[in-house]
Structure 1
Amino acid sequence: MRPDASSALNPGVLPRWVVVLAVVGGLFVLLPVVALGLRVDWPHFLPLVTSDSAQAALLLSLRTSLTATALCVLLGVPMALVLARTAFRGQRLVRSLVLLPLVLPPVVGGIALLYTFGRRGLLGSSLDALGIDIAFSTTAVVMAQAFVALPFLVLSLEGALRSVGTRYEAVGSTLGAGRWTVLRRITLPLVLPALVSGAVLSFARALGEFGATLTFAGSLEGTTRTLPLEVYLQRETDPDAAVALSLILVVVAVAVVGVAHRVRPLGSGVPGSRPAGAVGRAG
């Protein structure tokens, strides 16, 4: 075992107060989840999570979250490439705006989307004249989820692109590969783990979105009422159902985060053989 790895596993190298605070922080996160599990009405768990409204909300959440994740990949990959591989005036400001949804309250994001794509919004009035109504539709759910989830993919991918550098891409270009060939055979394979991890985190964020969805899309059963909205509504009328559905979201979130962390992070070691082969094929 490497010395650094053995040190990382040995709590004796740290002050005791650091370990104590780490344990307190872990309990702060873990205890609410345990309390939620203890509160579940286990004898009636299946009926609670298989009601018509719960199934409709779950299926809608999965469908819209997957669509929002695809939209994040479609838009986020080019954005990360531009931020990591180009330099232009105002780049820091652009990066700050791209990452703004990370710190912006979701309800504020929903209001911003509403005043952009709503019937009386900046673009919504023109779209309404064409017969396109986005607000309070399933499309609005996808857009709200993508709005809050997109920074996760951009942040992950841009960091990976900066970590791996440009040396492999430079070699490919020197050997005569075109820009598209370099991107497809060298750049994207290098950052694939970060792309997958970012997409998984974006899916998790989209699945748990509440504020922007409620503000921009409303809560119409079967159309815009996602699982977080269903949990909120059931909390007032059927607390047992709300707890059971909350546990479903917790399980899904744990599974998604587990998948994200199993993906090898970029920067921990640049895979040399694959890009080298790609460069060879490019030449």
Structure 2
Amino acid sequence: MSDWFTPAEVTAIGLSLKVATVAALASLPFGVAIGWLLARRRFPGKALVDALVHLPLVLPPVVMGYVLLVMLGTRGPVGAWLHDSFGIVLAFRWTGAALACAVMGFPLMVRAIRLSIENVDRRLEQAASTLGAAPWRVFLTVTLPLAWPGLVAGAALAFAKALGEFGATITFVSAIPGETQTLSSAIYGLMQVPGGEAGIWRLALVSLLISLGALLLSEWLVRRHRGAEEAE
């Protein structure tokens, strides 16, 4: 790989994979919880919660990155508390990049999971409840396994979105080589350098292949799951 890419490009690729993976996996439990809440519960303010979840899709990514910087920077209300109480710093760190990517990909994840849960036959859940299963057991043994394709699709979409995120990450964590410079910010940096076209094409191709691979893998897993269900 070092024969095809510069050391800086290899670092950017590895960091992007780490950031995207952490962003997708860390946000998955929250995506499942919010997806289930929106799919199965009625409560005051549900429309507002739904709108807030989807807000990152319609706001400019730079705005979301600036909000994160103001709130979670070392001088922000939440960031200062995290730093003083636990020594946690998110701004200008790769963990902050993962957080920004998770925020931007969260709406796509929630939507996929919500639609999958809505498609689960509620009569199966009611039958399990009638047999004496507690609500949490119904969720873990009936709802979650049947909605599994939506979880896979949501995680894959969040991963792909995180891999290509630029505006929110560069605003919140900048593009520090070896620390926060992901594929997108590395490509942007090469655009400012004369003769950087070759590097741009290499990184763009890598980004395309990884994102396409993640989506194809999720589709294969979903089809395999459905095939196993039909065989039963």
Q: TM-score, normalised by structure 2?
A: 0.90
Specify the alignment match of 1:248 in structure 2: 206
Match of 1:186 in 2: 142
Counterparts of 1:134 and 1:46, CA distance in 2: 30
Report the Cα distance in structure 1 between the residues aligned to 2:159 and 2:80, rounded to whole angstroms: 30
Query: What displacement does 1:157 show?
Result: 0.8
Residues 1:257 and 2:212 are matched in the alignment: no
Contact 1:80 1:154 in 2 (8 A): yes
Deviation of 1:272 after TM superposition, in Å, equals: 8.0
Is the partner of 1:123 in helix, strand or coil?
A: helix
After alignment, is 216-225 or 234-243 more displaced? Answer: 234-243
> How many Å separate the matches in 1 of 2:73 and 2:2?
38
2:82 aligned with 1:124: no
Distance 1:58 1:144 in 2: 17
1:190 partner letter: L
1:256 Cα deviation from its structure 2 partner: 2.3
Alpha-carbon separation, structure 2, partners of 1:129 and 1:199: 33
Match of 1:105 in 2: 60
Q: 1:158 aligns with which of 114, 124, 147?
A: 114
Residue 264 of structure 1 deviates from its aligned partner by 4.1
Residue 216 of structure 1 aligns with an amino acid whose one-letter code is F
Query: What's the offset of the Cα at 1:252?
Result: 1.7
Percent of aligned pairs sharing the same letter? 36
Q: What is the alpha-carbon root mean square deviation over aligned residues? A: 2.1
Aligned partners of 1:197, 1:149: CA distance in 2, in Å? 12
Offset at residue 236 of structure 1 (A): 2.1
Counterpart pick for 1:228 among 175, 184, 193:
184
In structure 2, what is the equivalent of residue 145 of structure 1?
A: 101
Q: Which 5+ residue runs of structure 2 have no aligned equivalent?
A: none
Q: Secondary structure at the residue paired with 2:75?
A: coil
Q: Say whether residues 1:73 and 2:25 are aligned partners.
A: no
Preserved contact between residue 97 and residue 173 of structure 2 (Cα < 8 Å): yes
Does the Cα contact within 8 Å between 2:120 and 2:143 map onto a contact in 1?
no
State how far apart, in whole Å, the 1-side matches of 2:132 and 2:113 are: 26
Q: Which amino acid aligns with 1:204?
A: A
Match of 2:166 among 191, 199, 210: 210
* Residue number among 161, 174, 183 corresponding to 2:130 in the alignment: 174
CA deviations over 1:196-255 (Å, ceiling 9, x no partner): 011111100011111111000111111111111111111222221111111111122222
1:254–1:132 distance in 2 versus 1, CA, 3 Å: closer
Q: Which amino acid aligns with 1:67?
A: V
| Structure 1 contact 152–201 (Cα < 8 Å) conserved | yes
Look up the SS of the partner of 1:79 in the other structure.
helix
Question: Quick one: distance in 1 between partners of 2:64 and 2:107?
Answer: 13
Q: Say yes or no: does 1:91 pair with 2:91.
A: no
The secondary structure found in structure 2 opposite 1:99 is: helix
Question: Aligned to 1:62, which of 17, 29, 36?
Answer: 17
Instruction: For residue 164 of structure 1, give the secondary structure of its aligned residue in structure 2.
Output: coil
Which residue matches 2:8? 53
Query: Which ranges in structure 1 are unaligned for 5 or more consecutive residues?
Result: 1-44, 275-283
> Cα distance, 1:183 vs. partner?
1.2
Alignment of 1:264-279 (within 5 A): 264=222
